[in-house]
Every structure is written in structure tokens, then in C-alpha cells.
């Protein structure tokens, strides 16, 4: 351990992790804190879809460090790879295994080898390296279910290679699930529901349509504000680098613009008078902003689903298709209502364009 410049304890403090940076390579070492037959570390969010390094001993008692690509949870899903490891060493002292190896930052792959998994195993010192670990009783060349681990990390640790530190990433799936559900209520139900109420209930007495729209919009803005504040607090900051965040911020900004725009609405011309230029500009701005809010809000929901899947490696295709089907149902409903109004001549009642907040 004295040979390495940096060291951290991995998750559950069962494995010590060491490293030293060089110009074009990095030297790693890992030491278990309890007895085992083999010690494995992996680079990735979890063992599935990770690059693993296993320190073990063959039948002759020779220490080895072998590399693997893991794409499943069974023994058949552990695929040997050929990485460019140097200064390989594996030893055991009273059952405590220590393994060491040096590897280049970028695998040395030829054009013919570019399709192999190990060619994608790039270590970027400027990016946090996600590290996991596992221990088991025995390892062998012919893997079976008996080679499975008896202990493993419950989550990955983000190792800052250049800073010499590490942090355990909090599982934010419950937080993001609540965030997504609340935003679905806001952008997928309340907002379009309010717009449709204003559009198709205007013929009722006591301004039922506008009142329904106002109630839905107030609930929508309040829900967005609370959910936005909740998400920022849990994530410990606002990061606007992703497309999802940019779309969400744009949608919220446009939604907040609508009530302000409504207060600036010019007076309606008297019967028989032409609409003034200010009124035309207001109508167009209100229509464009209102419809943009709905479209951008839908896009924010879809990109949020994609972001959740990428962050935790989960299959969100079913949820994404369910969301798309919901939008299609809404679109078909609007087309039906428009067709019905056209057939019954409801447009003669003087209803204007479909706008948000009108």
C-alpha cells in the first residue's frame, strides 16, 4: 500500500482500493479485509454490465488476475477478456487477498478488435470511476454457479482518481420516481386538462371552462414549483447540462409566462370593430406559448424517462410506450372533440383559438 499515492475504502468498508496515476497508465491494487478464496473488483454501476478484475489462485497455488466482461447474473454471463495488464501480482496472507495490476487509460486495440467489449473499458482520470467489489470461496477457469460470490458491495463508490477521494452515490430512484409522477400529473393531466376545459366547456354557464382551466393551471404551477424545489434539494444542486433539465426549465418558464401574459391582454374590441394590432400580437404570443408549453412538457417527460433508464441501467421501454400511448389517447380525444364541434356547428358560438390561459 505504501507504493500507491491514493487509497479509499469501498462500499461497506470490506475492500481497500489503491491507485497511482502515470502519464499514460494507472496502477491499481485491491485488498480484502476478510478471508476469501478470490477477490473481484468491477468498474460500473453494478456487477451486471461491468468490467471485472478477479484475483485468485489456480490448482498450483499460483496467483492470477484475470479480466472479464459481465452482462448477466449467471456464470454463463461472465465472459473472459484480454486486457493489456502489466505488473500483475496476486498474493494471500492468512486468507486475505491482495491483487495488483497496471493498465493503460485507453485499451490498446487494433481496428480488428474495436468490436470487443474490453476496447470500451476506458479509464478517464478526469471522470469519477465507479467501483464495486465481490468475494467468493473459489474461482476457476471453468466457471459454474459454485463460483458465485458470498459477499459483495451493495452499491458502487465513485472514486475521484485525480483528487484521491471517493463518495458513495445515493440511490435516487425513489426521489426520481416521485419527481416523475408529480411532473406527469402536472404536464400529462392538469395542464392539458385545463386547456381542454377552457376550449370545450366555454359554452357552459358561469364560465365553467375558464374556471376549470384556472384551477388546473394553479394546481399545475404549484405542483411544478414544489416538485422542482424537492428535486433540486435532493440532488443537492441544479445541473442544466442534460436535455431533460433544459426542456423542463423551458416548459416551467413558459408556463409562468402565461398568467403574466393574460394580465396584459388588451381589451376586446366592441362588436363590429376590428381587432387592434396589440390584440393580434397578444393572441399569437398566447397561442404559441401555450402550445409550446404542452409540447415541451411532453418532451421533458419522455427525456426524463430516458434519463432514468440511462442513469440506473434499467429497461424503461414499457413505461415510455405507456406514456406515448397516453399522449396519443389525448390527441385522439382532441381530434374527436374538434370533429364533433365542427359537425354540430359549435364554432358559431364565437369560440376563439385553442390557447393556454384564454
Kindly report the backbone phi and psi dihedral angles of residue 89, in degrees, each rounded to the nearest multiple of 5, phi listed first.
Answer: -155, 140
Q: Do 153 and 225 sit in the same domain of this protein? A: no
355 part of a folded domain: no
Q: Do 112 and 250 sit in the same domain of this protein? A: no
Bridge-based pairing state of the strands 86-93 and 15-21: unpaired
Q: Do 216 and 309 sit in the same domain of this protein? A: yes
pLDDT at residue number 305: 85
Percentage with pLDDT > 70 across the chain: 80
Confidence of residue 358 (pLDDT cuts 50, 70, 90): very low
Domain count, the chain: 2
Is 68 a residue whose pLDDT tops 80? yes
| CATH assignment at residue 179 | 1.20.120.1770
Distance of CA 207 to the CA centre of its chain: 42
| Residue where one domain finishes, among candidates 144, 168, 192 | 168
Q: Do 119 and 246 sit in the same domain of this protein? A: no
Which distant-in-sequence residues (6+ apart) come within 8 Å of 80 by Cβ?
Answer: 66, 67, 68
Buried b vs exposed e over 173-209: b needs ≥16 C-beta within 10 Å?
eeebeebbebbbbbbbbbbbbbbbbbbbebeeeeeeb
Per DSSP, the three-state class of 181 is helix
- Region of poorest pLDDT, from 9-18, 101-110, 116-125, 182-191: 182-191
Q: Do 21 and 154 sit in the same domain of this protein? A: yes
Averaged over 177-205, what is the pLDDT?
76
Percentage with pLDDT > 90 across the chain: 28
11 part of a folded domain: yes
pLDDT at residue number 274: 62
Instruction: Enter the C-alpha cell of residue 130.
Output: 465507479
Q: Do 264 and 135 sit in the same domain of this protein? A: no
Indicate the burial class of 351 (C-beta count within 10 angstroms; 0-12, 13-18, 19 or more): middle
Is 132 a residue whose pLDDT tops 90? yes
217 part of a folded domain: yes
Separation CA 28–CA 48 (nearest Å): 21
Confidence of residue 93 (pLDDT cuts 50, 70, 90): very high
pLDDT at residue number 278: 74
- What value does the mean pLDDT of the chain take? 81
pLDDT at residue number 113: 74
| Residue where one domain finishes, among candidates 168, 183, 204 | 168
Over the stretch 114-125, which tens digit does the pLDDT of each residue have? 778 889 999 998
pLDDT at residue number 312: 64
CA pseudo-torsion sign 46, 48, 54, 60:
positive
Is 166 a residue whose pLDDT tops 50? yes
Most confident of the ranges 66-70, 167-171, 290-294, 318-322: 66-70
357 part of a folded domain: no
Q: Do 126 and 184 sit in the same domain of this protein? A: no
Over the stretch 326-349, which tens digit does the pLDDT of each residue have? 999 988 988 888 888 777 764 455
pLDDT at residue number 91: 95
Averaged over 123-151, what is the pLDDT?
85
Of 74, 80, 85, nearest to 26 (Cα)?
Answer: 85
Q: Do 97 and 183 sit in the same domain of this protein? A: no
- Region of poorest pLDDT, from 12-16, 60-64, 66-70, 183-187: 183-187
Over the stretch 224-281, which tens digit does the pLDDT of each residue have? 777 777 677 666 666 667 788 888 888 888 877 777 777 777 777 666 566 677 777 8
Amino acid at each position: 500500500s505504501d507504493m500507491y499515492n491514493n487509497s479509499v475504502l469501498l462500499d461497506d468498508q470490506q475492500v481497500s482500493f489503491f491507485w497511482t496515476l502515470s502519464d499514460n497508465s494507472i496502477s491499481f491494487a485491491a485488498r480484502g479485509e476478510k478471508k476469501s478464496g478470490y477477490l473481484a473488483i468491477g468498474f460500473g454501476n453494478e456487477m451486471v454490465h461491468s468490467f471485472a478484475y478477479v484475483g485468485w489462485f489456480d490448482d498450483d497455488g499460483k496467483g492470477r488476475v484475470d479480466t472479464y466482461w459481465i452482462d448477466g447474473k449467471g456464470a454463463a454471463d461472465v465472459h473472459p477478456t484480454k486486457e493489456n495488464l502489466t505488473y500483475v501480482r496476486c498474493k494471500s496472507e492468512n486468507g486475505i487477498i491482495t491483487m495488483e495490476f497496471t493498465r493503460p487509460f485507453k485499451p490498446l486495440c487494433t481496428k480488428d478488435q474495436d468490436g470487443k467489449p474490453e476496447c470500451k473499458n476506458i479509464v478517464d482520470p478526469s471522470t469519477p470511476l465507479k467501483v464495486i467489489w465481490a468475494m467468493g470461496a473459489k474461482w476457476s477457469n471453468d466457471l459454474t454457479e459454485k463460483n458465485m460470490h458470498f459477499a459483495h458491495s451493495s452499491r458502487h463508490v465513485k472514486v475521484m482518481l485525480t483528487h484521491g477521494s471517493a463518495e458513495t452515490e445515493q440511490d435516487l430512484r425513489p426521489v426520481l420516481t416521485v419527481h416523475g409522477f408529480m411532473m406527469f400529473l402536472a404536464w400529462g393531466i392538469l395542464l392539458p386538462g385545463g386547456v381542454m376545459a377552457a376550449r370545450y366547456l366555454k359554452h357552459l354557464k358561469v364560465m365553467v371552462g375558464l374556471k376549470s382551466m384556472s384551477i388546473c393551471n394553479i394546481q399545475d404551477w404549484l405542483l411544478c414549483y414544489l416538485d422542482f424545489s424537492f428535486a433540486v434539494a435532493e440532488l443537492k444542486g441544479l445541473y442544466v447540462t442534460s436535455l431533460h433539465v433544459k426542456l423542463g426549465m423551458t416548459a416551467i418558464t413558459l408556463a409562468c409566462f402565461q398568467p403574466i401574459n393574460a394580465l396584459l391582454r388588451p381589451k376586446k374590441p366592441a362588436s363590429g370593430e376590428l381587432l387592434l394590432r396589440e390584440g393580434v400580437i397578444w393572441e399569437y404570443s398566447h397561442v404559441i406559448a401555450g402550445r409550446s408549453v404542452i409540447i415541451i412538457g411532453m418532451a421533458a417527460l419522455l427525456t426524463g424517462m430516458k434519463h432514468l433508464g440511462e442513469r440506473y441501467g434499467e429497461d424503461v421501454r414499457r413505461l415510455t410506450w405507456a406514456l406515448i400511448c397516453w399522449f396519443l389517447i389525448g390527441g385522439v380525444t382532441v381530434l374527436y372533440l374538434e370533429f364533433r364541434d365542427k359537425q354540430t356547428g359549435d364554432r358559431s358560438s364565437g369560440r376563439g383559438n385553442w390557447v393556454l390561459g384564454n
